[in-house]
């Protein structure tokens, strides 16, 4: 309310009341100085002469129900007092804003319809804080919003979407493929077990992971995998020490470089490093020939081990269901293995040829 | 379960709520809530961040966000900092500037990292955006002082010009005089990367004098010590200051001048520069040390005793960048003096030396971790490490968000036990639950990747070199690290299997870099064919990959998700694998 407005109001009115009517029909009277804190009410009083009696009660916008009006008036009653310090006002605001989200939304909307900007800012900021840090699903839940973006519009991992129709088609295929993958992962273990028995390429992969002879059932052999790795560790340590001695002259490459101007020279990847790589490659393939000496106790804790077991299981299952024959070919590079033949059904699911054909 | 009605808001109210939501992550979440929020959000997004300039085309961005005022783009992968990305790979900003010049005359801010910026681009910026305010170029290259002159001459509302670690062709120091005499709006100027040619001091002085809102001024090495006093005299309101060369003949008048003018800068919180420091002039900054929150001494070749003295004057220090001359003893003093320390970077003074030249070991890092309760970000170069130290660090400082440890010699084992450092790094990821960035070094087997995959659920960026034994290592990371966005690997024995099995994961990440690993060309082709929303780039300076057998490993591989499709600005040594031919030449 500006100075000008104050001058216009006759002194008799200073202690009087303003009549307000909410959309549900109920009418109430409110101290003038409190009500006039709202620009919308102020406008009605001054420009249209409304609110001076019950019959001429100001009709408030629909978004202001009695409960919200009560809250807004509380806000106005406090803030319209001129003598308060900033600290006091801030403290009041912080307490005032503590309410459930639904009421907060209603209040924001009501304050906006009454053009009460400070309260709109306060409630908007509070809503922003509620939204921050949450996922879209969580936000939807809180505000009861529909999940109406299409799969392609969601493109969840990507920051930007596009309306290119070609991309939309690809995305639809992707969404479909993702759903299929999820469904397949719910299949019983038994089915996977059976397939594994017949599927030699996946077996190869599992044996590579587990580091034994390839007749694994996959899951329970993480122990042997650990044992082999330890043996390899010892091999590697000694070879690493040698590598350090040999490659001392040539900078083998830092994994970070100082940003200092003095150390301006950047580092070239050491040539020596490549030879180590091939050694390791051979180790991977040699694993299969090492015999399983029996259980060796690792220092790995059981929860982690279980998790790793599940990892291997998942790995195998995903491999089995995901990729058609090309993948199998790639995996069997350098080894004489017969690729397993898969074919895609009309509905996109994989179908394996009957066992007899493979043997 | 009863269905509640969605609470209806007028659009303007929602827009007002969104105006208080600024982070990109939150804005992206908001835009994916529902159709109406998507629409409202896109019209009121004012800042756009594109983490990989090839992930999306400028036209797409402009179409979706019609009213943005500020854009941030990143180009080359991080390993470009270590010369692993050959020159000419890409990251050109010109197409972006050209598109925006046409569509966005009201663009105000451009921030670029690791991009190629030409003088033409700078001239176009100067010409096209009348209200241009902020230009931040971080680790960029391709431009000269002529481009800067264009910006200076035309951008009347420029507030910020920040050239961090850029490679600039220094044609003429007089570009500074292109700022018109009527220009006074400068708030931040960082020219620390400019060359050592004689700078135009009088133009600089006049600029500083008339820009009374200047808060940040970082000079380049060419500005001599005795000129600093004249410059600072006009700018007592500075909050951040970077000196030029910090050496001169020791003269009492120069010293007292400097000390006097520095102590009149009551707002100073951050100091940097300090090239060629001579200890005699250091005490001149003691008067401002008590207020300092940030100190960058990464060019200062002063020894431990002087560093210790300096650091003990700075109790409010939050960020320290320093050379390893500080040694373990200096870090112990830091730990006891600077309880507010949040970020520490210790750089190697002599990384290529065979023997250590300073007494900086894992003990320094342990001391700081134990002593500084707010420490959350560390970049530490050293020559030895132990699992024991790492476990101690992890247990005492679980609030690490960034942990980058660089043991200088690759594959260095635990110096006490000669074992790999798997357990040590495992402790780091296990205890530091909010870890977002991790760099590994030392002798490491697949086991460290198991730990990482199991525990590092909030990890967003991982840097790996000379580590691991097999594909299982990579598999653990790709399958376990749910928040992973950037993975960069060099010289590790990771091949096709883990990559192909986790192909879908790659689409949830910004990028994957693998160089000197064991990924075959065939796998790259397969990946490119199967994943249309990934750009699979094979970078190989030995010649076309199909001139070698398919199972031959590629030299460098850069995979990133993109909805813009393969790019067309590739140099001859980069090939994108895609669906059509399996091999696309530039």
Distance between CA atoms of B75 and B55, rounded to whole angstroms? 10
Contact A148 B34 (CB under 8 A): yes
Q: Using CB atoms, which residue from B298, B350, B563 is nearest to A158?
A: B563
Q: Say if the Cβ atoms of B38 and A149 lie within 8 Å.
A: yes
B407 contact partners, CB below 8 Å, separation of at least 6: B382, B383, B384, B385, B441, B442
> pLDDT tens digit string along B338-394?
999 999 999 999 999 888 899 999 999 999 999 999 999 999 999 999 999 999 999
Query: Which chain A residue has its CA at the smallest distance from B418's CA?
Result: A237
B485 to chain A nearest CA, in Å?
A: 10
Distance from CA of A235 to the nearest CA of B (A): 11
Q: Rounded to the nearest 5 degrees, what angle is found at the Cα of B319, between the Cα atoms of B314 and B324?
A: 85
B541 pLDDT higher than 60: yes
The arrangement of strands across the sheet holding A27-31 comes to A27-31, A17-21, A58-59
Q: Which residues of chain B does A136 touch, with a Cβ-Cβ cutoff of 8 Å?
A: 29-30, 32-33
Neighbours of A91 (CB within 10 A): 12
Over the range A221-232, which residues count as b (16 or more CB within 10 Å of their CB) and which as e? bbbbbbbbbeeb
SS (H, E, C) B343-398: EEEEECCCCCCCCCCCCCCHHHHHHHHHHCCCCCEEEEEECCCCHHHHHHHHHHCC
- Whether B553 is covered by a domain: the verdict is yes
- What tens digit of pLDDT does each residue of B471-499 get? 999 999 999 999 999 999 999 999 999 99
Higher per-residue confidence, A237 vs B413? B413
Q: Is residue B548 part of a domain?
A: yes
Alpha-carbon Rg for chain A in angstroms:
36
DSSP string, A299-356: SS-HHHHHHHHHHHHHHHHHHHHH--HHHHHHHTTTS--PPPPEEE-TTS-EEEPPHH
Q: In chain B, whose CA is at the least distance from the CA of A279? A: B493
- By C-alpha distance, the chain A residue nearest B24 is A159
In a domain, B577, yes or no: yes
Per CB-CB distance under 8 Å, the chain A contacts of B483 are: none
pLDDT higher than 70, residue B184:
yes
Q: Residue B526's pLDDT is what?
A: 93
Backbone angles phi, psi at B453, to 5 degrees: -65, -30
Q: Which residue has the tokens 């898969």?
A: A342
Stretch A105-128: mean pLDDT, rounded? Answer: 93
Helix or strand (DSSP H, E) at B426:
helix B422-431
Q: What phi, psi does B473 have (nearest 5°)? A: -60, -50
A309 or B241: whose pLDDT is higher? B241
What are B294's strand-pairing partners? B270, B319
pLDDT tens per residue across span B2-48:
444 456 678 889 999 999 998 988 999 999 999 999 999 999 999 99
Contact A252, B409 (CB under 8 A): yes
Q: Which residues of A touch B23 (CB under 8 A)?
A: 132
pLDDT at A75 over 70: yes
Considering the domain boundaries, does residue B221 fall inside one? Answer: no
- Tell how far CA A82 is from the center of its chain: 46
Task: Say how far apart CA A335 and CA B557 lie, in whole Å.
Answer: 25
**Range B282-292 burial, b when 16+ CB lie within 10 A, else e:** bebbebbbebb
In this structure, are residues A269 and B539 in contact, taking their beta carbons and an 8 Å threshold? no
Tell me the per-residue pLDDT of A140-153, one tens digit each, with 9 for 90 and over: 999 888 888 877 66
Nearest to B561 by CA among A182, A322, A324, A156: A156
Cβ-based neighbour number of residue B195 at 10 Å: 16
Is A132–B454 a contact, with Cβ atoms under 8 angstroms apart?
no
Residue range A233-245: mean pLDDT, rounded: 36
Q: What is the mean pLDDT of the segment spanning B57-61?
A: 92
Measure in Å the smallest separation between the Cα of B461 and chain A Cα atoms: 14
A229 and B446 in contact by Cβ < 8 A?
Answer: yes
Closest CA–CA distance from residue A18 to any residue of chain B (Å): 27
Whether residue B185 has pLDDT greater than 90 = yes
Residues of A in contact with B445 (CB under 8 A): 229, 232-233, 236
- Indicate if the pLDDT at residue A177 is higher than 50: yes
Point out the least confidently predicted range of A66-70, A167-171, B380-384, B514-518.
A167-171
Q: Are A149 and B42 in contact (CB under 8 A)?
A: no
Q: Which of A2-16, B107-121, B157-171, B436-450 has the lowest mean pLDDT?
A: A2-16
Instruction: Please say if the pLDDT value at position B464 is more than 60.
Output: yes
Interface test with B, best of A133, A144, A159, A311 (most B CBs within 10 A): A159
Task: Tell me whether residues B347 and A106 touch, CB distance under 8 A.
Answer: no
Measured between beta carbons, the chain B residues lying within 8 angstroms of A134 are: 29
For residue B470, what are the β-bridge partners? none
On the question of pLDDT at B179 being above 90, the answer is yes
Q: Do B500 and A330 touch (CB under 8 A)?
A: yes
Q: Is the pLDDT of residue B510 over 80?
A: yes
By mean pLDDT, which of A181-185, B123-127, B366-370 is the weakest? A181-185
Minimum-distance CB partner of B354 among A248, A307, A327: A248
**Chain A residue with the nearest C-alpha to that of B452:** A304
Averaged pLDDT, B169-174: 84
Cβ contact B497–A283 (<8 Å): no
Q: Using one digit for the tens of pLDDT, what is the confidence trace for A24-69?
A: 889 998 998 898 888 988 888 888 888 888 888 888 988 898 999 9
CATH architecture under which domain A17-143 falls: 2-Layer Sandwich (3.30)
ipTM value, please give it. 0.77
Provide φ and ψ at B381, rounded to 5°: -100, 130
Average pLDDT, stretch A281-288?
A: 36
Residue pair B345/B378 in contact (Cβ under 8 Å)? The answer is yes
Residue of B nearest to A264 (CA): B82
- Tell me the C-alpha distance between B20 and B10, whole Å: 17
A contacts of B406 (beta carbons < 8 Å): 254-256
CB spacing of A158 vs B516 below 8 angstroms: no
Q: Indicate the helix (H) or strand (E) that contains B478.
A: helix B471-480
Integer Cα distance of A283 and A291 in angstroms: 14
Per-residue pLDDT at B2:
40
User: Which alpha helices (DSSP H) does B186-291 contain, by range?
Assistant: 201-210, 225-233, 252-263, 286-289
Tell if the CB–CB gap between A260 and B347 is shorter than 8 Å.
yes
pLDDT score of A341: 40
**Alpha carbon separation from B42 to B36, B408, B446, B584 (Å, rounded):** 10, 47, 44, 35
Predicted confidence at residue A349, as pLDDT, reads: 41
Residue spans of the domains in chain A: they are 17-143, 149-195
Q: For A287-296, A334-343, B62-71, which range has the lowest pLDDT when averaged over its residues?
A: A287-296
Mean pLDDT of A217-241: 36
> Using the beta-carbon criterion (under 8 Å), do A331 and B497 form an inter-chain contact?
yes
Interhelix angle A86-96/A66-79, rounded to 10 degrees, is: 160
| Angle at which helices B446-455 and A302-322 cross, to 10° | 90
Question: What is the Cα–Cα distance from B202 to B184, expressed in whole angstroms?
Answer: 16
- Chain B residues touching residue A284 (CB < 8 angstroms): 469-471, 493, 495
Joined tokens for residue A303:
């929860």
What pLDDT digit, counting tens, does each position of B284-297 carry? Answer: 999 999 999 999 99
- Is the CB of A236 less than 8 angstroms away from the CB of B30? no
Rounded distance, CA A127 to CA A108, Å? Answer: 9
- Which range (A199-213, B14-28, B506-520) has the least confidence? A199-213
> What's CA A96's distance to the chain center, in Å?
31
Distance from CA of B420 to the nearest CA of A (A): 8
Q: Are B323 and A260 within 8 A, CB to CB?
A: yes
DSSP state of B520: B
Residue ranges in chain A assigned as alpha helix (H):
3-8, 32-35, 39-48, 66-79, 86-96, 101-113, 117-131, 136-143, 151-154, 165-185, 189-198, 200-210, 222-246, 272-286, 302-322, 325-331, 355-358
Which domain covers residue B531, as residue numbers?
A: 495-585
Q: Which one of A135, A143, A162 has the shortest CB-CB distance to B563?
A: A162
User: Which of the residues B17, B489, B502, B527 would you substitute to probe the A interface, choosing the one with the greatest number of A C-beta atoms within 10 Å?
Assistant: B17
> What DSSP string describes A134-156?
--HHHHHHHHT------HHHH-T
The per-residue pLDDT of chain B, averaged, comes to 92
Question: pLDDT band at B546, cuts 50/70/90?
Answer: confident
Q: How many CB pairs under 8 A join A and B?
A: 279
Cα–Cα distance for residue pair B294/B317, rounded to 1 Å? 6
Mean pLDDT to the nearest integer, B176-197: 90
Chain A residue closest in CA terms to B276? A262
In B, minimum Cα distance to A168 occurs at B563
Q: Which one of A205, A256, A273, A313 would you mutate to disrupt binding with B, by most B Cβ within 10 Å of its Cβ?
A: A256
Contacts of A125 in chain B (CB under 8 A): 20
User: Rounded to whole angstroms, how far apart are CA atoms B559 and B122?
Assistant: 30
pLDDT value for B389:
97
Give first-to-last CA distance, chain B, whole Å: 58
CA distance A211 to A224: 7
Asked if A273 and B349 come within 8 Å (Cβ–Cβ), the reply is no
* Total number of domains constituting chain B: 1
Chain A CB contacts of B490 below 8 Å: 253, 255, 269
Query: Does residue B248 or residue B259 have the better pLDDT?
Result: B259
pLDDT-based confidence at residue A243 (cuts at 50, 70, 90): very low
For residue A71, pLDDT over 70 is answered with yes
Q: Let me know: does B311 contact B338? Beta carbons within 8 Å.
A: yes
pLDDT at A347: 43
Distances in Å between the Cα of A246 and the Cα atoms of A249, A250, A275, A283 are 8, 9, 12, 21
Option in A140, A163, A281 nearest B493 (CB): A281
Output the pLDDT for position A322: 45
d(CA B441, CA B488): 13
Neighboring chain A residues of B275 at a CB cutoff of 8 Å: 261
* pLDDT of A264 higher than 50: no
What residues in B contact A282, CB-CB < 8 Å?
none
Q: Report in angstroms the alpha-carbon separations of A31 from A24, A76, A81, B330.
A: 21, 10, 13, 68
């Amino acid at each position: 309310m500006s100075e000008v407005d104050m001058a216009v109001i006759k002194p008799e009115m200073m202690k009087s009341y303003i009549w307000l009517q909410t959309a549900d029909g109920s009418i109430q009277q409110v101290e003038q100085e409190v009500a006039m804190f709202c620009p919308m009410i102020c406008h009605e009083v001054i420009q249209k002469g409304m609110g001076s009696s019950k019959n001429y009660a100001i009709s408030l916008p629909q978004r202001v129900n009695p409960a919200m009006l009560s809250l807004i008036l509380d806000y106005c009653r406090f803030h319209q007092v001129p003598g308060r310090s900033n600290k006091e006002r801030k403290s009041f605001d912080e307490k005032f804003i503590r309410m459930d989200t639904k009421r907060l939304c209603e209040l924001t909307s009501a304050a906006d319809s009454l053009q009460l900007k400070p309260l709109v800012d306060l409630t908007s900021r509070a809503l922003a804080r509620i939204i921050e840090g949450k996922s879209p699903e969580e936000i939807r839940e809180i505000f009861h919003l529909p999940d109406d973006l299409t799969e392609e519009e969601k493109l969840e991992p990507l920051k930007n979407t596009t309306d290119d129709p070609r991309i939309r088609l690809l995305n639809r295929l992707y969404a479909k493929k993702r759903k299929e993958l999820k469904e397949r992962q719910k299949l019983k273990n038994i089915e996977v077990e059976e397939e594994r028995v017949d599927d030699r390429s996946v077996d190869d992969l599992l044996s590579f992971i587990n580091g034994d002879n390839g007749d694994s059932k996959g899951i329970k052999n993480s122990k042997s995998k650990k044992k082999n790795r330890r043996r390899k560790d010892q091999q590697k340590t000694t070879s690493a020490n040698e590598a350090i001695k040999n490659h001392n002259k040539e900078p083998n490459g830092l994994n970070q470089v100082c940003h200092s101007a003095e150390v301006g020279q950047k580092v070239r990847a050491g040539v020596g490093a490549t030879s180590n790589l091939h050694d390791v490659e051979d180790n991977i393939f040699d694993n299969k020939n090492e015999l399983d000496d029996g259980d060796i106790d690792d220092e790995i804790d059981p929860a982690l081990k279980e998790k790793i077991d599940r990892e291997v299981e998942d790995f195998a299952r995903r491999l089995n269901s995901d990729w058609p024959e090309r993948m199998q070919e790639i995996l069997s590079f350098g080894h004489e293995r017969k690729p397993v033949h898969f074919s895609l059904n009309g509905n996109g699911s994989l179908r394996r040829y009957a066992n007899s054909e493979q043997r | 379960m009863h269905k509640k009605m969605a609470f209806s808001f007028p659009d303007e109210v929602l827009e007002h709520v969104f105006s208080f939501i600024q982070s990109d992550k939150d804005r992206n979440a908001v835009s994916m809530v529902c159709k109406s929020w998507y629409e409202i959000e896109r019209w009121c997004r004012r800042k756009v961040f594109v983490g990989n300039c090839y992930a999306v085309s400028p036209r797409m961005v402009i179409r979706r966000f019609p009213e943005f005022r500020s854009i941030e783009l990143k180009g080359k992968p991080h390993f470009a900092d270590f010369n692993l990305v050959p020159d000419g790979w890409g990251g050109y900003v010109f197409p972006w500037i050209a598109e925006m010049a046409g569509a966005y005359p009201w663009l105000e801010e451009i921030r670029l990292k690791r991009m190629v910026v030409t003088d033409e681009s700078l001239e176009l910026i100067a010409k096209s955006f009348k209200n241009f305010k902020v230009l931040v170029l971080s680790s960029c290259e391709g431009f000269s002082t002529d481009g800067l002159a264009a910006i200076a001459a035309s951008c009347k509302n420029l507030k910020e010009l920040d050239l961090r670690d850029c490679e600039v062709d220094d044609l003429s120091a007089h570009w500074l005089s292109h700022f018109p005499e009527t220009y006074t709006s400068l708030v931040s100027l960082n020219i620390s990367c400019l060359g050592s040619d004689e700078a135009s001091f009088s133009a600089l002085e006049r600029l500083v004098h008339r820009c009374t809102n200047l808060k940040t001024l970082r000079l380049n090495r060419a500005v001599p010590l005795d000129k600093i006093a004249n410059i600072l005299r006009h700018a007592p309101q500075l909050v951040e200051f970077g000196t030029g060369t910090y050496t001169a003949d020791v003269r009492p008048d120069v010293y007292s001048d400097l000390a006097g003018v520095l102590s009149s800068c009551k707002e100073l919180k951050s100091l940097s520069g300090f090239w060629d420091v001579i200890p005699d002039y250091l005490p001149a900054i003691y008067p401002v040390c008590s207020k300092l929150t940030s100190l960058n001494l990464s060019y200062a070749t002063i020894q431990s005793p002087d560093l210790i003295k300096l650091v003990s004057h700075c109790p409010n220090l939050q960020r320290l960048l320093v050379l390893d001359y500080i040694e373990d003893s200096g870090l112990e003093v830091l730990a006891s003096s600077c309880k507010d320390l949040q970020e520490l970077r210790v750089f190697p003074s002599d990384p290529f030396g065979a023997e250590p030249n300073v007494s900086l070991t894992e003990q320094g890092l342990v001391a700081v971790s134990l002593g500084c309760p707010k420490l959350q970000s560390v970049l530490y170069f050293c020559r030895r490490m132990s699992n024991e130290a790492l476990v101690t660090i992890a247990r005492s400082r679980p609030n690490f968000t960034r942990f980058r440890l660089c043991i200088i010699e690759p594959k260095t084992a635990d110096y006490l036990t000669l074992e790999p450092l798997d357990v040590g790094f495992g402790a780091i990821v296990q205890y530091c639950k909010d870890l977002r960035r991790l760099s590994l070094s030392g002798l490491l087997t697949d086991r460290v990747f198991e730990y990482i995959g199991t525990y590092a659920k909030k990890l967003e960026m991982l840097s790996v070199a000379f580590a691991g034994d097999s594909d299982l290592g990579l598999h653990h990371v790709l399958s376990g690290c749910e928040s992973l966005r950037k993975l960069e690997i060099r010289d590790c024995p990771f091949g096709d299997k883990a990559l192909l099995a986790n192909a879908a994961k790659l689409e949830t990440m910004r990028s994957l870099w693998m160089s000197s690993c064991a990924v075959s060309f065939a796998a790259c082709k397969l990946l490119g064919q199967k994943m249309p929303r990934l750009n699979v780039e094979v970078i190989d300076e030995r010649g076309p990959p199909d001139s070698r057998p398919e199972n031959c490993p590629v030299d460098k591989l850069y995979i990133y998700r993109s909805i813009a499709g393969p790019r067309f600005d590739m140099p001859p040594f980069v090939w994108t694998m895609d669906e059509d031919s399996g091999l696309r030449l530039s």
